[in-house]
Structure 1
Amino acid sequence: MTGNPQSEGSRQRARTTATPRQVAFDVLRAVTDDDAYANLLLPTRLRRARLTGADAAFATELTYGTLRRRGHYDRVIALAAGRAIDAIDPVALDVLRLGAHQLLGMSTPAHAAVGETVELTRRARAARTTGFVNAVLRTISRDDDVTWTTRLLEGVTDPDERDGIAHAHPAWIVHALREALTREGRGSELDDLLLADNTAPRVTLVALPGLCEPEALGDRTPYSTRGARSAAGDPASHPLVAAGAARVQDEGSQLAALVLSRARAVVPGERWLDLCAGPGGKAALLAAEARAGGAVLVANEVVPARAELVRKALHTIDPAVEVRVGDGRVIGVLEPETYDRILLDAPCTGLGALRRRPEARWRKTALDVAPLASLQAELLRSALAALKPGGVLAYVTCSPHPDETTAIVDDLLVERPAEVAPLDARAVLAGIARTPLDLGELAHGAAQLWPHRHGTDAMFIQLLTRR
């Protein structure tokens, strides 16, 4: 008897549609093997697998939660397996990480967490490790996360190491965050910050001036005059986002762009420069602000692929914006005293966006800071040379690390006191924020935003002017 074609087709789709665990596993493998970015890859995989609602939410938490606490789970796995992490098959290790998060970080019943996760080893053609994976997960399932953490802390006395184990952060990052809070006299907030880094943030949208208003997007954000909270689900499905009138953008990034565009009244004909514009989020907001005030924006990006993303981001706002591919370190030589306003959103460690980029904390090391700081200093000096006398320069990093923020600015001000002067970014923020911002005291009027205090990425903002 011939089967019902529609039923057979449904069965075939069911066999080929990935489960939430399979989607999470695929993303983890891509992150491990190809240095993929989970926040870019996961939405695509969810759409491809047609996962929505509770299934999509499960896959999202499983992916991001596992990546966010990967170092913590690796310690637990090594203890439960009785062997070093680098002695475990990489495929089996990713399966174990997923299982550990279900057992210790989610409310998944143990039998489901173990059974369904072990099944992944068979689908991943790693059947030879099935028994090992099953044994390790069953060992982990016998105790809760508090008990495992207590074991991991035994004999550890260094405070940075202890906080790193307790909150799934590398010790060098804990140390940097502790220093950054202490410079504000807020060192007691460290636990709150580390907890915030491990909490998935709400998605925020920016309503681009002249294209839409934030009220059309959802509930307003507390500080940005252009911000709104995205509703549940894929923000790309919102008609205004799809049309290019709004974008997904953290509220801290919005404020960093608005501090520059609204530091003073715009004079028609001003020339603005976004020195490191990729992938185009801040450039889009600046382009809309420039157009509204009669200014002209130039967007520069050193990586051609990222420059193409900038072009796409700006096309619906102002296709006439010039997007260049070039090394920002030579702009000051090629175009001295050319621009009225410059945004330098400098390449950095990204320690301010750990809650949005869950794998980032395990990718960087303390050795990455010095080369980045050197690059930041070069870019800042180039930007200053390209700034007109009396112009405004915003030095911005998505990192609160002192070596990438206040140290860079201090060095410049000591080196060139007759050429550059600080402006009060805190005062500008106070004038544009919808509600008061609780900002710590930093030298030179710099402003530091924080996930635990403001619900934003940890953006550092310093305004400078050329004398």
Structure 2
Amino acid sequence: MAPRTARDRRDRNRRPGGPRRPEDLVRRTAYEVVRAVQTRDAYANLLLPGRLRDRGLTGRDAALATELTYGTLRGRGTYDAILQVCSDRPLHRIDGPLLDVLRLGVHQLLGTRIPPHAAVGTAVELARSVAGPGQAKFANAVLRKVATRDLAAWLAIVAPEGDEVGRLSVTHSHPRWIVTALRDALGADRAEIEALLAADNERPRVTLVARPGRATAAELVEAGAEPAPYSPLAAVLPEGDPAAIDAVRDGRAAVQDEASQLVALALADTPLDGPDARWLDMCAGPGGKAGLLAGLAAGRDARLLACDVQPHRAGLVRRAVDGRTGVAVVDGTAPAWRPGSFDRVLLDAPCTGLGALRRRPEARWRREPSSLAELGPLQRRLLASALEAVRPGGVVAYVTCSPHLAETRVVVDDVLRDRADVERLDSPQAVRRVAAGALDGLGDGPYAQFWPHRHGTDAMFLALLRRTA
């Protein structure tokens, strides 16, 4: 006899006590990652690949789980505004697990091509699983209201008029304080801030780096990647798993944003007065820039010391560098080395990560303005320590993956205000000198600022500083 209900039909496709169908696993996986980000401060880019592997999700199933996860995290601000209109409860009174299911359902309805009946049905089933039958009825009612309009129509309703920051915040799903900070840092017109916020919500391409002396960009292109526009060491993977490329699997190449590559190349290329034998990466974890610098140093018979204050991050650095590179657990604010010990110093300072919102969309909801107050003093202490670590004639690169003025030029200007022994170098010129292609839009100097909407990279900041005495 044929199954009588939709649930009967679903149960017929599942062995008693057996695993869920792939579509159930896809949504369950996305939900669990979103929930872990919300409750455990997990990082989606670290958690999701393991979940996909453990559950055998590949191909289209893995791609859908990835889209549902990142799309829900990126769109949370917009989706919450829509849910508030469609719900008879304030959002803060909706249980956390159910609210994350609703966000996932709204993304399926408004951010994908999944048919509305399938989007609602799968979200309701997920709500029943995590919150019970009563909550599933509530989810069904709310999501059916959401399904009555498309995203553009909802934005016309929920984006506040007469409040430009509020409109941008809701339309592009960024907290208000981040919209304001990005607008101040960009210093551009309305169209460009719109472009930047939109770029933050685009899924970035996977950029690879050929570690110097171990692989080449040409090898990566031969393996199926495409030439990258700026870094001579980079190639772009249009699709697929980076680990499928031999050089990546062998550790001779890695995933690394082009801006991250270029700031390290600019430091290594800056002319020095005197010897060039001892390099330092002060906050090296997880090891992307250290892996690049290690290869460059080896090519010049120089030695790199890569440090991090956290042992597990230092362990990640060890995997990224060769045997010539020293790796140590060191607090950069109270180092063990003598002043003036190094010729080149990279300080990739801890920051809010607002420059990497494309790759880590959850950072926009995890950070608060108070984060700046916590990080600012640390950034200043680390930069002062880096300037003490470099010898006269040597160069320090102060780098952050954030364009926020309080983490970039304000930090540098504050530290250098009472120092007559440090010279600001022309960082945009230094970056253009190492770039393989024309690279504009970095600013007028002396600092360089990359932008997602201008360069297709993270919003990386670079200040090159020479110790003069």
TM-score scaled to structure 2, two decimals?
A: 0.92
Does the aligned pair in 2 maintain the 1:268–1:293 contact within 8 Å? no
Partners of 1:209 and 1:9 lie apart in 2 by 52
Following superposition, the deviation at residue 137 of structure 1 comes to 0.4
**In the TM superposition, what are the counterparts of 1:36-185 in structure 2 within 5 Å?**
36-124=42-130, 126-154=132-160, 156-182=161-187
Does the aligned pair in 1 maintain the 2:311–2:329 contact within 8 Å? yes
Pick aligned residue for 1:427 from 426, 429, 447:
429
**In the TM superposition, what are the counterparts of 1:308-387 in structure 2 within 5 Å?**
308-314=315-321, 318-331=322-335, 334-387=337-390
Unmatched tracts of structure 2, length 5 or more = 1-12
Alignment-derived partner of residue 463 in structure 2: 462
Does the aligned pair in 2 maintain the 1:267–1:294 contact within 8 Å? no
Alignment-derived partner of residue 10 in structure 2: none
Give the direction of change, closer, same or farther, for the CA distance of 1:9–1:245 in structure 2 (3 Å limit): farther
**In the TM superposition, what are the counterparts of 1:265-284 in structure 2 within 5 Å?**
270-284=277-291
SS in 2 for 1:415: coil
Partners of 1:204 and 1:139 lie apart in 2 by 40
Does the aligned pair in 1 maintain the 2:256–2:288 contact within 8 Å? yes
Following superposition, the deviation at residue 264 of structure 1 comes to 2.7
SS in 1 for 2:227: coil
Partners of 1:147 and 1:16 lie apart in 2 by 32
Q: Within the alignment, does 1:288 sit opposite 2:291 as a pair?
A: no
Alignment-derived partner of residue 305 in structure 1: 312
Following superposition, the deviation at residue 124 of structure 1 comes to 2.4
Following superposition, the deviation at residue 56 of structure 1 comes to 1.5
Does the aligned pair in 1 maintain the 2:207–2:237 contact within 8 Å? yes
Partners of 2:24 and 2:151 lie apart in 1 by 29
Listed one character per residue, the Cα deviations across residues 53-111 of structure 1 (whole Å, up to 9, x for unaligned) are 22221111111000011121112112211222110011111110000001111121110
Partners of 2:434 and 2:364 lie apart in 1 by 32
Give the partner amino acid of 1:452.
H
Give the partner amino acid of 2:447.
A
383-392 vs 233-242, which moves further: 233-242
SS in 2 for 1:337: coil
Listed one character per residue, the Cα deviations across residues 120-141 of structure 1 (whole Å, up to 9, x for unaligned) are 1233253331101111100111
SS in 2 for 1:134: helix
Q: Within the alignment, does 1:264 sit opposite 2:271 as a pair?
A: yes
Alignment-derived partner of residue 441 in structure 1: 443
Following superposition, the deviation at residue 405 of structure 1 comes to 0.5
Partners of 1:127 and 1:9 lie apart in 2 by 22
Unmatched tracts of structure 1, length 5 or more = 1-6
Give the direction of change, closer, same or farther, for the CA distance of 1:429–1:269 in structure 2 (3 Å limit): closer
Alignment-derived partner of residue 9 in structure 2: none
Give the direction of change, closer, same or farther, for the CA distance of 1:56–1:267 in structure 2 (3 Å limit): farther
Give the partner amino acid of 1:194.
L
SS in 1 for 2:215: coil
Partners of 1:18 and 1:313 lie apart in 2 by 37
Alignment-derived partner of residue 246 in structure 1: 253
Does the aligned pair in 2 maintain the 1:266–1:295 contact within 8 Å? no
Give the partner amino acid of 2:198.
L
16-25 vs 279-288, which moves further: 16-25
Measured on the aligned residues, the alpha-carbon RMSD in Å equals 2.1
Question: How high is the sequence identity, in percent, across the aligned residues?
Answer: 51
Give the partner amino acid of 1:433.
A
Give the direction of change, closer, same or farther, for the CA distance of 1:297–1:186 in structure 2 (3 Å limit): farther
Partners of 2:69 and 2:45 lie apart in 1 by 10
Does the aligned pair in 2 maintain the 1:425–1:447 contact within 8 Å? yes
